[in-house]
Chain A
């Protein structure tokens, strides 16, 4: 009796290992499949930044916090080997700073002013990365709002030619002007 129980136990545990092995196999395959092919290495990072920018144009602090989280992740998992020398230098210059701003934004739900403060410096960081080489097949713009922070101004990067102000949000959605175009 005891032996058969043992045997049964061994059998089930054996089964478990196989299914676990299968699971990790398929996880491996999906990782390989999910690896972007032919995409710019900075794409996920810039997408997360733009998602954040768009959340701020809508005065949406929850969405901004979510996007901040995605940005932290994108900075962490960026494929550094895929960056060219100049990008790689710019990235290592900004990485720790940008990550910290993104972390603060993700932790500042309910305080959109604070999110915007960090977004202002973050935008300057992202600019350093974007100005080197734009993403293939994507046009980006560098915009300036002269009114933000009591006239000190603030910049941001946008994927649209029209102005959608992330600093003043719905109060003054079209305040600002484009100052640089990345092709």
Chain B
């Protein structure tokens, strides 16, 4: 058992850090106020962008696999850095889904906020996001 644990430390999944300027980032397409951008970065971007701020435990296995599968799934649902690559219709759907996941509230995941206490959203944070998404949905074309 110990041996297996030791061996898997050498198998590390690729890191989700593009290091490139995100030219398709949501902030290039929609106006994102500083307050909203701050919340997105703190509470969403770790799993929903091309750049994760990795915590210490994510360097030890098997946690690294667990973290990387979360990021992969998160990004396939929604990637703020690639928002501009979605069709207009899909962008609107994503904004709607952001709003409902914040309202319900299914996001950020409890398993994530358990460790990342800074990512917890206050009622005011949620209100800010909801107001912002509502505004963006109403201004997007052919709604």
Contacts and interface: CB of A to CB of B under 8 A. Distances in A.
B100 A97 contact: no
Interface string A88-109: 0000011011001100000000
Would you call the interface of chain A mostly helix, strand, loop, or mixed? helix
A96 B87 contact: yes
Contacts of B116: none
A117 B93 CA distance: 10
Contacts of A94: 89
Which of B87, B90, B100 has the most chain A CB atoms inside 10 A of its CB? B90
Contacts of A93: 87, 89
Contacts of B93: 97, 100-101, 121
Contacts of A97: 87, 89-90, 93
B133 to A, nearest CB: 13
B41 interface: no
A170 to B, nearest CB: 23
Interface string A1-22: 0000000000000000000000
Main SS at interface, chain B: helix
Contacts of B86: 96
Contacts of A101: 93
B96 interface: yes
A96 B100 contact: no
A117 B101 CA distance: 11
Contacts of B100: 117
Contacts of A121: 92-93, 96
A183 B90 CA distance: 29
Interface in A68-96: 93-94, 96
A171 B89 CA distance: 31
A117 B87 CA distance: 19
A125 B96 CA distance: 14
A49 B86 CA distance: 23
Contacts of A96: 86-87, 90
Contacts of B90: 96-97, 100
Interface in B47-92: 86-87, 89-90, 92
B14 to A, nearest CB: 25
Interface string B81-118: 00000110110110011001000000000000000000
A125 B90 CA distance: 10
A100 B100 CA distance: 16
Nearest to A99: B90
B3 to A, nearest CB: 38
A96 B92 CA distance: 13
A111 to B, nearest CB: 10
A160 to B, nearest CB: 27
Interface of B: 86-87, 89-90, 92-93, 96-97, 100
14 contacts: A93-B87, A93-B89, A94-B89, A96-B90, A97-B87, A97-B90, A100-B90, A100-B93, A101-B93, A117-B96, A117-B100, A121-B92, A121-B96, A125-B89
Interface of A: 93-94, 96-97, 100-101, 117, 121, 125
